[in-house]
Amino acid sequence: MENWDELTLTMLKEIIANKQVKKLREIFEEVNIVDLAEMAEQCTLSEVLFVFKTVKKDVTADLFAYLSVDKQEELIRTFTGPEIKSILDNLYLDDVVDFLEEMPESIVKKVLQNATSEQRAEINTLLSYAPNSAGSIMTTDYVELFEHHTVEEAMDQIRKQGKTAETINTCFVINKSNTLLGSISLREILFASEDKEICEIMDTDIVAVTTGDDQEEVGRIFQKYDISVVGVVNSQFKLVGIITVDDVIDVLEEEATEDIHLMAGIRPVEGSYLESNVWEIFKSRIPWLLILMIPATLTGMIIAGNSAILLIVPSLVNFIPMLMDTAGNAGSQASAMVIRGIVVDDLSIKDFLAVLFKELRASFMTGLILFVINTLRILIFMPNVGITVAILVSFTVFLTITLANLIGGLLPLFALILKIDPASMSGPVITTLVDAVSLLVYFSIAIAVLG
């Protein structure tokens, strides 16, 4: 048997072209399936189909789960009924639902036609849950134990259901009504006496989510309790599925990507950057840029409306870019920290005063340092403007830092009241708003002092 640690795409393509079935099967036994999926993405349809026809069905099902949506669709269109059935038999149902949610109706119909009545019912149930809910990402492939099972009976049940279960490390305990009573780890079962009942050794401190819970909230529960699996219950607290940590990692990546896009004023798009076409990128960026033209017009009007003071003291123009940049950066810093607090630390609207006073203290300290540094900077590098203008500009920096921090820190909390994503209240929105505020403060002080 050869060592395939140094396998390359060229080598894989050559083995497929020469129809070296034995070597191909060796590769799929030894090489990580994720790495092979990356190579398969760069293979032609005929090359991938050859792999699916020659490699073991349970292995190719794993490969299918790691392929891109486009590649999956391409394969399903080509697969025969028995080939689709093989995929369904060897994939966890949550993985089946994951790819069906991204498929056109014709593909979904073709897959469901080749599913068993039991598979079809379970798939339709999972598809019926709201997008981005706990129900939409859960799996029904799990081990369930009854409270009065002995340890010996529990082991028999694990052997029976474990082959198709997504995980056996944690098993959930129910009663005859299917109500969730607790959970127990495989370790606890292995080291317990065979005649002990599960209800005597199970953990009754239940951590569970409901089918309607938002997937982002599910991710927070995994982080908070440091767990690898959680039970999903319905409104009657009956166990209907489980969510495993591998699915939550995908959710966290998806939510983080969405937040990053929103913070940059971009409508979230599906897929990677290289997979997105130019039209999709254009559509994701243009809406916010058009919307932000309106407050940007206000900024221009503020400058135009104060042209008289600029004619009297032309040097004031020199400091406008610095004031706007500093204020915008300060606001973005505050909003980034508060948004992270909302996502990670469960910050909510009830923490309004705490955020207010914290930002006031932070902005006072920051503003004071910037006041001193900026005054010295102006006097050293621009001595001709004079001490009055230097202090005026630096005092404006102090005030705008305070206002920018308050706006950046409190706007995400107002977003919670309006029930919109706090991440949308950052980046370009904060910067544009703070620009206008900083100019108003600047010209108001300039007119009052230099009038």
Alpha-carbon separation of residue 338 from 259, 351, 409 (angstroms): 13, 11, 6
Give residue 271's pLDDT. 65
Query: Which helix (H) or strand (E) element contains residue 145?
Result: strand 144-146
Give residue 175's pLDDT. 93
Residues of the chain with pLDDT under 50: none
Compute the distance between CA of residue 392 and CA of residue 157 in angstroms, rounded to an integer: 78
Residue 73's contacts (CB-CB under 8 Å, 6 or more residues apart) are 103, 104, 107
Alpha-carbon separation of residue 448 from 51, 392, 437, 443 (angstroms): 78, 10, 17, 8
Looking at residue 45, its amino acid is L
Task: Outline where 101-207 has alpha helix (H).
Answer: 105-113, 117-128, 134-137, 151-161, 186-190, 198-201
CATH class of 144-251: alpha beta
Alpha-carbon separation of residue 400 from 113, 302, 378 (angstroms): 63, 16, 18
Query: Which helix (H) or strand (E) element contains residue 184?
Result: strand 180-185
Alpha-carbon separation of residue 108 from 113, 155, 164, 178, 410 (angstroms): 9, 37, 23, 31, 45
Compute the distance between CA of residue 374 and CA of residue 376 in angstroms, rounded to an integer: 5
Give residue 421's pLDDT. 78
Query: Which helix (H) or strand (E) element contains residue 60?
Result: helix 57-66
Burial class (CB in 10 A: 0-12, 13-18, 19+), 342: buried
Give residue 388's pLDDT. 92
Residue 246's contacts (CB-CB under 8 Å, 6 or more residues apart) are none
Pick one of 1.25.60.10, 1.20.140.10, 3.40.50.970, 1.20.1440.230 as the CATH number of 9-129.
Answer: 1.25.60.10
- Is the whole model's pTM more than 0.85, yes or no? no
Location of structure tokens 């995908």: 250
pLDDT in tens, 64-77: 999 988 899 999 99
User: Same fold for the domain at 9-129 and the one at 144-251?
Assistant: no
Question: How many residues comprise the chain?
Answer: 451
Whether 84 and 111 have beta carbons less than 8 Å apart is answered as yes
Alpha-carbon separation of residue 90 from 29, 79, 125, 449 (angstroms): 16, 15, 19, 77
Looking at domain 292-450, its CATH superfamily turns out to be: SLC41 divalent cation transporters, integral membrane domain (1.10.357.20)
Residue 202 region, left (φ>0) first, then alpha (ψ -120 to 50), else beta?
A: beta
Q: Per the structure block, which two tokens stand in for 325?
A: 């940049």
Sheet containing strand 208-210, edge to edge, reads 208-210, 229-233, 239-244
pLDDT in tens, 110-130: 999 999 988 898 888 888 898
Q: Where are the domains of the chain?
A: 9-129, 144-251, 292-450
